[in-house]
Amino acid sequence: MIRATLAWGLACLLGLSAPLTQASEGAALFAQHCAACHQADGSGTVGLAPPLLGEHWQRLGADRNYLVQVITQGLSGLIVVNGQRFVSSMPAFAGQLNDEQLAAIATHLQTLQQRTGPAYSPADFAAARSTAGNPTQSRALRMQLLK
């Protein structure tokens, strides 16, 4: 009886803590790897890196692969975000972080953007790694989605 109760308690704890761990890990990783340029709340830095928030994310987010591609392969070339021009480069993170970490970051960003939809999975990033892509192609995809 006691053992069964303990097992049940443990199962509840594990069930609860898995998504919580991913969410807090995503926030911590975003703070560590993205916030220097984009700020912890994703509001961006004038002249350096664009806000990651705004109405245009309804269209950019409609293709879930866009965010995955930018984080994995980078992005470069002029973009205009909320009326501001950015001409710098977004570094590719495929070489720095593993698929679990990249998925946690993307899911955290999706929450900051108040977008709904399933969480990003490590498999999304594994697929992006094995697909050809580069910063210029990410920009071409962006232009296509915002057309």
What is the number of other CB atoms lying within 10 angstroms of the CB of residue 71?
27
What is the number of other CB atoms lying within 10 angstroms of the CB of residue 125?
24
Task: Name which of 9, 39, 34 is nearest 104 in CA terms.
Answer: 34
Half-sphere exposure of 16 (CA within 13 A, CB side): 6
Q: Is residue 2 at the binding interface for ligand HEC, with CB under 6 A as the rule?
A: no
Site string for ligand HEC, 86-105 (x = CB under 6 A): xxxxxx-x-----------x
Distance of alpha carbon 35 from alpha carbon 29, whole angstroms: 9
How many residues of this chain bind ligand HEC (CB under 6 A)?
Answer: 28
Q: Is residue 77 at the binding interface for ligand HEC, with CB under 6 A as the rule?
A: yes
Site string for ligand HEC, 17-56 (x = CB under 6 A): ----------------xx-xxx----------xx-x----
CA 17 to chain centre: 21
The contact set with ligand HEC (CB under 6 A) reads 33-34, 36-38, 49-50, 52, 60, 67, 70-71, 75-77, 79, 81, 86-91, 93, 105, 109, 139, 142
